[in-house]
A and B are shown apart, each in its own frame.
Chain A
Amino acid sequence: MTPPGSVGADTDNPYALAHLDALESEAMHIFREVAGEFERPVILFSGGKDSIVMLHLALKAFTPAPVPLALLHVDTGHNFPEVIDYRDQVAQRHGLRLHVASVQEFIDRGELRERPDGPRNPLQTVPLLDAIEKNRFDAVFGGGRRDEEKARAKERVFSLRDEFGGWDPRRQRPEPWQLYNGRHSPGEHVRVFPLSNWTELDVWQYIEREEIDLPAIYYAHEREVFSGSGMWLTPGQWGGPREGERTERRLVRYRTVGDMSCTGAVDSQAATISQVIEEIAASRLTERGATRADEKVSEAAMEDRKREGYF
């Protein structure tokens, strides 16, 4: 079987755009709509590949002028050091204002409690909403894609959040054509998802085409890991390995980048972008299924978190 990655190499129609151009153009349209309609937009930037592609698209959308957007990172305190370095370099290189909302600070102040089972991903919601409110951000770009998860498949490109940051899937605004309705009352904000129609493979093909730098953990590397929740986790102060679990050195890479306590690595030999693309095209697991321990909890885990204001 030809991998789907080979799609689009040939098109007979001279008027048609190749699919990456089409997706890119759509994302540009979304960025410019936000720039035209909102006062204080911000990009959620985690240093993960989706947010990196999002920033790359934003830079292109407003060229030759600088990007009229700030960056916001919700730091769980358990981030990969390579990713934090990357984040700081990018902000500096493009002269962007970087806001950091720290989960650790909230825990230290007693406003959040560590979960007994470890993962800090669900704890990000409170610092995120706090940062949005304090900085009066009215449009918040997220790198969420509809192919990631069932609840996300139902999300609009412009998704209204109430003053508590909540998402009500039953009261979403219809979004026909490309007419995005970003009207909101004071205190409310709109989450914007320019990568809605991209798949994991699209993101990687775009990274290859645009020669975008990524943190090294996206490529195969040797790492001390232990098996937990059915995936390879990096040992650390967040509670691993437990007794009876042994660490071992393996050749792995990360398909997603999140909180180290619940983001798993996959066995991989893919050291280059094209090898990664080959590997994804052949994979029998979804990106989140392979790498996220916290979403195996329940069928509606993502919907519930989104309702509370998660990404």
Chain B
Amino acid sequence: MTSAYNLPHLTVGALMRHIVAETAARLSERATGHGTATATGRAPGPAAGAAPGHEPGPPSGGAPGHTPGGPSSDPPDRDRARPRRQPVKGHPTPMATTTAPHQTPAGDTEPRRPERAAAHVPGAIGADLLRWATAGSVDDGKSTLVGRLLYDAKAVLADQLKAVERTSHDRGQHAPDLVLLTDGLRAEREQGITIDVAYRYFATPRRRFILADTPGHVQYTRNMVTGASTAELAVVLVDARNGVVEQTRRHAAVAALLRVPHIVLAVNKMDLVDYAEPVFTAIAREFTAHAGSLGVWEVTAIPISALVGDGVVTASARMPWCTGPTLLDHLERVDVGGEPAARPARFPVQCVIRHDGARHYGGQLTAEVLRVGDRVTVLPSGRTTTISSIDLLGRAVGAARAAQSVTLRLADELDVARGDLIAPAHAGPVATRDVEAAVCHLHDRPLRPGEQVLLRHTTRTVRAVVREVYGTAELGPNDIGRIVLRTAEPIAADAYEDARETGSFLLIDPADGATRTAGMVGGAPWCPCCCRHWCWPGAGTAPANRRRGCRARSSRRWAGSCPPTR
């Protein structure tokens, strides 16, 4: 591995003491017989071991002559020779991208295409800026992981560390509590849980990172929606001792629903399972299969120990079977940002800037490229005209590309206002008043059929009524479901799977302005009829859902679109 910077192994005395204390506690825990998973003999290969972008290879039944590091309660030897970081030919790497086994829905002979999951991300994002989110249940070490990344990337500075130490000391704790670095609200510190999304900023020589650190508690799933909506990559954390649990499935489902383009499974606390490859492989295999059933086709699985630091920033000598990247390596190298010309351009008009009798339309291009001279349609009116000039913040340019804020001028005097959408004349979305969507309900007040709401789509706000809520009488807080809306005026929306920015919307309470529901136009990546109950193939709750019976299953609209149940 070539790392351009040297990372201290938490050499600051206080942190070191913290880690020593924690490790000692764990070692004594291990001595009492807890977590003594032993790994002998051959390690089974991962679910599949293809490099990104390649066809999934056959499941590897046996990695030739390779045994995992095996259990060791000896103190780690940091100076041992580093394992090779290049994947060995013919030996599927546990940390290489694993691709879900291909599943074809019943009655659907068309194989689904992997690129569905790679919807473009809103916001102006470059390849040197990665927006990512963490998800994981309580106590799986998420805050420790974030604390370590922040510390190792020099994003925790001396005075912050001192404040953490002071507070920990005031509370009678012997070691600084890294959670205090991220839990910024009084209520969070009092209750010891993360309630709201916290944004963190750090940089390495390769990239800048905006991290949305999201809460793990079930009742704050809505905050994970906020964090994941703009993320290009989500890290789902799993405790190696517990494996894939209900919360893991839920987090994977939210990430899949929001179409986060890259999903990373971080199997944490590998130190507590003696760095055993089979433990990791089994979890990676189970998670990958689950993700596949949600329509997520690529999962990168990485074994780590956030507390000790293995596999997070530096490669672990205790996991010689790992030949893939560390977590930070992957975050630095994953291919994000702009995209090739995959989707037609979209320009929601934000405001009209009048100057010297001319009308300039201000907005942010959400996809692809618009050029001077392009024929465009203004939606929802449907009139066509030509782009006569483009200004990039005061400078005339020939073309604008995705994520740039620009102003356009049009050749014809049309009635264009905030809320209109400018799109290529040959490839504009269809304006409609009937919207079907997957939604995550965010507000304490439930959403019921017949309710009047305001629908906010790009820069346009229209009145709407909830026509139907599938499979249930109402949606409560944190519920995910499917609804049908009828709007007072047409909106020009894309399917969310094609475009996050022009496929997403909010439902707003007309009385008090509260944001109640986040919506995604089009289909959910799993059985839409019972997604409220978190039902998917292979999930533990599926039989219960089958017993409940899904009313929508008989609906003609959804017939045939359910993936097969096992």
Contacts of A16 in B (CB 8 A): 125-128, 337-338
Could you tell me if A29 and B163 are in contact, using CB atoms closer than 8 angstroms?
Answer: no
Contacts of A174 in B (CB 8 A): 222-223, 225-226, 442, 515, 518
Could you tell me if A15 and B4 are in contact, using CB atoms closer than 8 angstroms?
Answer: no
Could you tell me if A64 and B518 are in contact, using CB atoms closer than 8 angstroms?
Answer: no
Contacts of B80 in A (CB 8 A): none
Could you tell me if B124 and A17 are in contact, using CB atoms closer than 8 angstroms?
Answer: yes
Task: Decide yes or no whether A185 CB sits under 8 A from chain B.
Answer: yes
| Known A-B contacts A21-B126, A29-B364; A147 and B230 likewise in contact (beta carbons under 8 Å) | no
Selected interface stretch from B68-76, B179-187, B376-384, B540-548: B179-187
Could you tell me if B124 and A26 are in contact, using CB atoms closer than 8 angstroms?
Answer: yes
Task: Decide yes or no whether B393 CB sits under 8 A from chain A.
Answer: yes
Selected interface stretch from A117-125, A247-255, A267-275, A278-286: A278-286
Could you tell me if B124 and A169 are in contact, using CB atoms closer than 8 angstroms?
Answer: no
Cα distance, A14 to B127, chains bound together (Å): 9
Could you tell me if B514 and A173 are in contact, using CB atoms closer than 8 angstroms?
Answer: yes
Could you tell me if B506 and A181 are in contact, using CB atoms closer than 8 angstroms?
Answer: yes
Give the number of residue pairs across the A-B interface with Cβ within 8 Å. 237
Cα distance, A42 to B230, chains bound together (Å): 28
Binary CB contact string for chain B from 358 to 377 against chain A (1 if under 8 A, 0 otherwise): 00101110000000000000
Selected interface stretch from B33-41, B297-305, B348-356: B348-356
Contacts of A199 in B (CB 8 A): 201, 203
Task: Decide yes or no whether A207 CB sits under 8 A from chain B.
Answer: no
Shortest C-beta distance, B58 to chain A (Å), equals 32
Shortest C-beta distance, B94 to chain A (Å), equals 28
Binary CB contact string for chain B from 133 to 154 against chain A (1 if under 8 A, 0 otherwise): 0000000000000000000001
Could you tell me if B201 and A146 are in contact, using CB atoms closer than 8 angstroms?
Answer: yes
Of A8, A36, A169, the contact of B128 (CB 8 Å cutoff): A8
Closest to B213 in A: A153
Contacts of B401 in A (CB 8 A): 15
Could you tell me if A12 and B351 are in contact, using CB atoms closer than 8 angstroms?
Answer: no
Could you tell me if A22 and B126 are in contact, using CB atoms closer than 8 angstroms?
Answer: yes
Cα distance, A13 to B207, chains bound together (Å): 13
Shortest C-beta distance, B356 to chain A (Å), equals 8
Could you tell me if B210 and A178 are in contact, using CB atoms closer than 8 angstroms?
Answer: no
| Known A-B contacts A64-B394, A174-B223, A174-B442; A17 and B338 likewise in contact (beta carbons under 8 Å) | yes
Contacts of A112 in B (CB 8 A): none
Could you tell me if B159 and A290 are in contact, using CB atoms closer than 8 angstroms?
Answer: yes
Could you tell me if B199 and A197 are in contact, using CB atoms closer than 8 angstroms?
Answer: yes
Of B122, B198, B355, the contact of A177 (CB 8 Å cutoff): B122
Shortest C-beta distance, B504 to chain A (Å), equals 5
A15-37 interface with B by 8 A CB criterion: 15-19, 21-26, 28-29, 32-33, 35-36
Contacts of A152 in B (CB 8 A): 184
Contacts of A22 in B (CB 8 A): 123-126, 129, 403
Of A15, A25, A60, A201, the contact of B339 (CB 8 Å cutoff): A15
- We find that the number of chain B residues with CB closer than 8 angstroms to chain A is 87
Of A25, A62, A147, A185, the contact of B513 (CB 8 Å cutoff): A185
Closest to B181 in A: A150
Contacts of A303 in B (CB 8 A): 184-186
| Known A-B contacts A64-B394, A176-B504; A181 and B206 likewise in contact (beta carbons under 8 Å) | no
Task: Decide yes or no whether A107 CB sits under 8 A from chain B.
Answer: no
Of B160, B201, B225, B456, the contact of A289 (CB 8 Å cutoff): B160
Could you tell me if A153 and B184 are in contact, using CB atoms closer than 8 angstroms?
Answer: yes
Of B181, B210, B404, the contact of A17 (CB 8 Å cutoff): B404
Which of B222, B402, B459: most chain A Cβ within 10 A? Answer: B459
Of B187, B196, B208, the contact of A19 (CB 8 Å cutoff): B208
Contacts of B6 in A (CB 8 A): 1
Could you tell me if B515 and A181 are in contact, using CB atoms closer than 8 angstroms?
Answer: yes
Task: Decide yes or no whether A172 CB sits under 8 A from chain B.
Answer: yes
Could you tell me if A178 and B123 are in contact, using CB atoms closer than 8 angstroms?
Answer: yes
Contacts of B129 in A (CB 8 A): 8, 19, 22
Task: Decide yes or no whether B55 CB sits under 8 A from chain A.
Answer: no
Could you tell me if A147 and B350 are in contact, using CB atoms closer than 8 angstroms?
Answer: no
Cα distance, A175 to B214, chains bound together (Å): 13
Contacts of A286 in B (CB 8 A): 157, 159-160
B464-515 interface with A by 8 A CB criterion: 500-501, 504-506, 508, 512-515
Task: Decide yes or no whether A132 CB sits under 8 A from chain B.
Answer: no
Could you tell me if B500 and A177 are in contact, using CB atoms closer than 8 angstroms?
Answer: yes
Task: Decide yes or no whether A299 CB sits under 8 A from chain B.
Answer: yes
Contacts of A26 in B (CB 8 A): 123-124, 405
Could you tell me if B201 and A147 are in contact, using CB atoms closer than 8 angstroms?
Answer: yes
Closest to B230 in A: A177
Contacts of B505 in A (CB 8 A): 179
Could you tell me if A25 and B405 are in contact, using CB atoms closer than 8 angstroms?
Answer: yes
Contacts of B223 in A (CB 8 A): 174
Could you tell me if A7 and B459 are in contact, using CB atoms closer than 8 angstroms?
Answer: no
Could you tell me if B226 and A175 are in contact, using CB atoms closer than 8 angstroms?
Answer: yes
A149-187 interface with B by 8 A CB criterion: 149-154, 160, 169-170, 172-179, 181, 183-185
Contacts of A185 in B (CB 8 A): 512-513
Binary CB contact string for chain B from 377 to 409 against chain A (1 if under 8 A, 0 otherwise): 000000000000001011000000111110100
| Known A-B contacts A29-B405, A65-B354; A21 and B124 likewise in contact (beta carbons under 8 Å) | yes
Could you tell me if B337 and A285 are in contact, using CB atoms closer than 8 angstroms?
Answer: no
Could you tell me if B506 and A176 are in contact, using CB atoms closer than 8 angstroms?
Answer: yes
Q: List 29 A-B contacts (CB under 8 A).
A: A11-B128, A12-B127, A15-B338, A17-B124, A17-B125, A18-B128, A25-B124, A28-B405, A32-B350, A32-B405, A33-B350, A63-B393, A63-B394, A64-B353, A149-B184, A150-B184, A150-B198, A151-B184, A154-B196, A169-B185, A170-B196, A174-B515, A177-B501, A177-B518, A178-B122, A179-B456, A185-B512, A201-B203, A300-B185
Nearest first, the 10 closest Cβ-Cβ pairs linking A and B are A15-B338, A150-B184, A289-B159, A183-B513, A28-B405, A4-B203, A16-B337, A25-B124, A16-B127, A176-B229
